[in-house]
Amino acid sequence: MDVVYKRSGALSDVSTTYCPGCSHGTAFKLIAEISEELDIVNKLVFATPIGCTTFSAPFHKFSTFMSAHGRAPANATGFKRCNPKRPVIVYQGDGDCAAIGTGESIHAAARGEAFTVVMANNQVYGMTGGQMAPTTLTGQKTTTTPNGRSVEACGYPIRMAEQIAQLEAPRFVTRQSLHTPKNILQAKAAIKKALELQINEEAYSFVELLCACPTNWAIEPSGIKEYMEKNVIPYFPLGDLKG
Amino acid sequence: MAKAVIDEKFCKGCGLCFTVCGKKLLKAGDKANAKGYYFAVQTEDDKCTACSLCAIICPDAAITVYK
Ligand SMILES: Cc1ncc(C[n+]2csc(CCOP(=O)(O)OP(=O)(O)O)c2C)c(N)n1
Ligand code: SF4
Ligand code: SF4
Ligand code: SF4
Ligand SMILES: [Mg+2]
């Protein structure tokens, strides 16, 4: 019997701490598969954020460093400038990337630092109990917007990929989603392209992934597809914004 | 013959694989793993087409597909 799909060898033999159905697991799986395909498992450096993926080092075989909340693009700038041959993925939540770390995110992109940012946009602060994030949808109930996010009080949710795409230096900016097998494969192709541009052309690239946090959305994983199509994708359109 | 094998160590019983299998071959089993999750099992493996959709959507990389 031939194996047609198996668990990536770049993942550790360890069960993650993520909730059932959490997209962080899917994103990690794709990065692991890509690192094997590009033969960079031993070279890839995974910069972890603060959020549900902070303590993710045991889940995979890459080198890692952790940064203070939102500061991974700044630390990755220093690391990459000193180690230009190491491919670097800066993995960030939407809160990490687009709230506390907005300054670091925008300026690293404006400078065109030679790394790839993967922003896992689940529209909440997952780790701390589901508070409103800058990406929380208008009307979305969170622990800090119990009646739903209002424009009057909170303004509009930020589309981070669009912010990054209007800068000169970024070479490839895209928004993908992880809610169906087809979208997962498209997201994989996008992350791979982003990494290849980094490795071959020293380019900055940004991949926003629409992710599910079934725990803080208070839905069953089986409802993720409908929730994404009805609520999330209409506000955060999918596709390449640049490159 | 094709089949999907779920590794109970990694499965969290999220059910995402149940939703994508066109042949409806996957369901929650009646045994819990060490974390307390009722892990998925494949029924009637003679109907499996090895399409791998279940494995692609699994967030915990718990599924191996054979053909
Ligand atoms: C300086 C600082 N402020 C606040 C916190 C608390 N905190 C931890 S994680 C987090 C939000 C994480 O949300 P996100 O980046 O969206 O990641 P997720 O958990 O959703 O993947 C916050 C506010 C902190 N750890 N450090
Ligand atoms: S709280 Fe949300 S983001 Fe965090 S592990 Fe659970 S499902 Fe994933
Ligand atoms: S490989 Fe395809 S047919 Fe077989 S169990 Fe998985 S989804 Fe169903
Ligand atoms: S998708 Fe994976 S974790 Fe979820 S029930 Fe299926 S095998 Fe288990
Ligand atoms: Mg988040």
ipTM comes to 0.97
- What is the residue whose two structure tokens read 């079934």? A214
Preferred mutation among B53, B60, B67 to probe A, highest tally of A CBs within 10 A: B60
What is the CATH number that goes with domain B3-66? 3.30.70.20
- Inter-chain touch B52–A23, beta carbons under 8 Å: no
- B31 min Cα distance to partner chain A (Å): 17
Kindly determine whether residue A7 and residue B20, on different chains, have CB atoms separated by under 8 Å.
no
Q: Tokens for A239, please give them.
A: 């596709």
CA nearest to B56 within chain A: A181
Ligand in nearest proximity to the CA of A213: 2
CATH placement of domain A24-242 = 3.40.50.970
Q: Quick check: B28 contacting A, CB < 8 Å?
A: no
Residues of chain A with pLDDT under 50: none
Buried b (16+ CB within 10 A) or exposed e, A120-139: bbbbbbbbeebbbbbbbbee
| Closest CA in chain A for residue B57 | A181
Q: Of B49, B26, B10, B17, which Cα lies nearest the Cα of A28?
A: B10
| SS (HEC) of chain B | CCEEEECCCCCCCCCHHHHHCCCCCEEEEEEECCCCCEEEEECCHHHCCCCCHHHHHCCCCCEEEEC
What is the CA(B3)–ligand 3 centre distance, in A?
7
Cα gap A92→A72, rounded to integer Å: 8
pLDDT at B45: 73
Q: How far apart are CA A211 and CA A232, in angstroms?
A: 10
- Spacing, Cα A19 to ligand 2 middle (Å): 5
What pLDDT is attached to residue A150?
A: 98
- Please report, rounded to a whole number, the percentage of residues in chain B having pLDDT higher than 90: 94
A126 — contact with chain B (CB < 8 Å)?
no
Domain edges within chain B: 3-66
Out of A4, A8, A222, the one facing B19 most closely (by C-beta) is: A222
Per the document, the length of chain B is 67
DSSP string for A128-150 = TTSEE-TTPPTT--BTTBTT---
State the average pLDDT over residues B46-60.
97
Q: What is the pLDDT of residue A80?
A: 98
The pLDDT value given to residue A185: 98
* pLDDT computed for residue A42 by the predictor: 98
pLDDT score, position A53: 98
Instruction: Please report the atom of ligand 2 found closest to the CA of residue A214.
Output: 7
Size of interface A-B (CB pairs under 8 A): 81
Asked whether the whole model's pTM tops 0.90, one would answer yes
Residue A201 and residue A193 in contact, taking contact as beta carbons nearer than 8 Å: no
Q: Where are the domains of chain A?
A: 24-242
* Residue B13 forms contact with A (CB below 8 Å): yes
- Our CA angle for A55, A195, A231, nearest 5°, is 65
Separation in Å, CA A177 to CA A52, A123, A222, A230, A232:
18, 13, 16, 13, 10
* Alpha carbon distance A69, A101 (integer Å): 7
Ligand 1 lined by A96 (C-beta under 6 Å): yes
Render A93-112 in DSSP notation, one character per residue: EHHIIIIITHHHHHHHHHHT
Instruction: Please tell me which of the candidates A3, A11, A24 has its beta carbon nearest to residue B64.
Output: A3
B58 interaction partners in chain A (CB closer than 8 Å):
29
Determine the pLDDT at residue B44.
82
Tell me what pLDDT residue B1 has. Answer: 83
Pocket mutation for ligand 1, best pick of A69, A119, A160, A215 (most atoms within 8 Å of C-beta): A69
